[in-house]
Amino acid sequence: MEARVMEQFNYWLSDPYFDEKTKEELLAIRNDSKEVEDRFYKDLAFGTGGLRGIIGAGTNRMNLYTVRKATQGLANYIIANGDPKKGVTISYDSRRMSPEFAKETALCLAANGIKAYLSDTLRPVPEESFAIRYFGCQAGVEITASHNPPQYNGYKAYWEDGAQVTPPNDTGIIDDVNAVTDYNNVKTMTEADATAAGLLVYFGKEIDDAYMEALKKQIIHPEVIKEMADDIRIVYTPFHGAGLVPVTRVLSELGFKHVYVVPEQRDPDPEFTTLEYPNPEDPKAFKLALELAKKEDADIVLATDPDADRLGVYARDAKTGEYIGFTGNMSGMLIAEYILRERTLTHTMPENPAFVTTIVTTNLARAIAQKYGLHYVETLTGFKYIGEQIKIFEQEHSYNYVFGLEESYGCLAGTHARDKDAPVAVMMLCEAAAFYKKKGLTLWDQMMNIYREYGFYKETQIAITMPGIEGAGKIAALMDNLRKNPPAELDRWKVMEFRDYETGTVRDIATGKEHPTGLPESNVLYFELDDDAWVCARPSGTEPKIKFYIGVRGKSLEDADKQNKTLSDALRKLIGD
């Protein structure tokens, strides 16, 4: 075992800064060398998405001390590069230790003279994003590990525009967090002292009410909702998370009369006891919701993840009566096509409208944006880059953001928030369901109509987990090999263009000519293939995984499935999986 590991382990055991409960936890594992090494071989990385890790004692774990250390770095950055008088908002979801981590964050900020606006109960990511701009704060923090298993928690950092931090603030905050090496130099204070000094205040109903009003402004056809409200039957599950209150409230205030919440998953539960994995991408997570849908004869089935920034969808196929799952690309494009078409027809589209996606989102987005004449922008993976585009449009007085989505089940209609917003996605899908039901169509029927018009786009993802030090080395070696030896073809597809976002270059394979990507540096490789197919390789910034994204366009669902499998098999052969 490395000397640094034992040095840190003994420091945590002996220094009076760490509490007795922490020391008892460490004493219980002192004879498990692998566990000790995993907890102390590095500091839990504060990446461009913040912190995310397993809860427990140690430098490579989520605990009060690593959260406080990260917050001290954030506070240092705000004091040097922002306006500490503006304050910081802090919200949290239903995960284990989320309230404690949120309060610890607030008290550290307060001890640094920065006013902390702390949520008085669990609230979702989009409402935190909204609150930052509502209060005019310099930054914000959401305590959440999104859809990770229950042993995880995390810490998302936001800047004054309401989006997660982007360059140069992200690397600046990372540097300041990494510069905090002595835990004894991290500031904190008691809640009583922070409150008395006016440096800690709680927020609640005021934000909820303002957020609701902002959501409802996105509705296009309130008259259709009113007409069809008694005919639409909706099943919803918050997966024990923060979506319950905003989702059920907005649907109720819009007039939907038949909204059935899965009772077993209604209440917050940090253990997610009814779920193997609280992820709306996982079909197994919909078991209880689909059972309720069949019982209540529901038109649509909706699920939000614990921090309610992502939405999973099932809808009925009119021909078979079966419920069919939508990918994030599909549900996002269903919402997008509805908004773009109806805003165009009702003359409510803003001037110079813009549609923003990421480089790993379906190419169907480009096709639909082109039909309705929207300015189309692709960003790096991560919704923070989509949120950043809203700020850029506003600063440059260039375009008006209408819609944005990424493949990982997240989208945003409107500019009230600058992160993925599942409540607004729920609202727009329910409006669309009412609109199409009036025409005798289900959401699945309409999805098929979109495919028949634009082509049958199909995307998939291959995620390979490689944990620990050894895994990190394998991921780095795999990316290095692909970068130095890019394939000329994958099965029947020729590689037309190779993009290396780390070097910032795009190479035309036929001519050898290169030009800049125009996007920030990132360890991502993209292979544009012929026939509108593509492959992208990207190591995860928050998990020990490397992800490969794949997209094709077929002539039918069956053809797209076949093409997708062929390309996936060719990729697996290339990487030796």
Residues marked as catalytic: 146
Q: Is 494 helix (H, G, I), strand (E, B) or coil?
A: strand
Residue 206, Cα to own-chain centre: how many angstroms?
Answer: 25
150 token code pair: 């229950």
Task: Answer whether the bond into residue 263 is a cis peptide, omega within 30°.
Answer: no
* CA gap 15, 471 in Å, rounded: 32
Q: Is 542 helix (H, G, I), strand (E, B) or coil?
A: coil
Strand 233-237 relative to strand 258-261: parallel, antiparallel, unpaired?
parallel
* CA gap 233, 321 in Å, rounded: 14
CA distances 43 to 8, 60, 181, 362, Å, are 10, 5, 10, 36
* CA gap 220, 335 in Å, rounded: 12
Query: Nearest-CA neighbor of 482 among 544, 526, 519?
Result: 526
Phi, psi of 203 (to 5 degrees): -120, 155
Query: Nearest-CA neighbor of 369 among 346, 407, 402?
Result: 402
Q: Are residues 271 and 244 in contact, defined by beta-carbon separation less than 8 angstroms?
A: no
User: What is the H or E stretch that residue 143 is in?
Assistant: strand 139-143
SS (H, E, C) 50-80: EEEEEECCCCCCECHHHHHHHHHHHHHHHHH
* CA gap 533, 568 in Å, rounded: 11
Give residue 330's identity as a one-letter amino acid code.
Answer: M
Residue 216, Cα to own-chain centre: how many angstroms?
Answer: 22
Q: Are residues 221 and 439 in contact, defined by beta-carbon separation less than 8 angstroms?
A: no
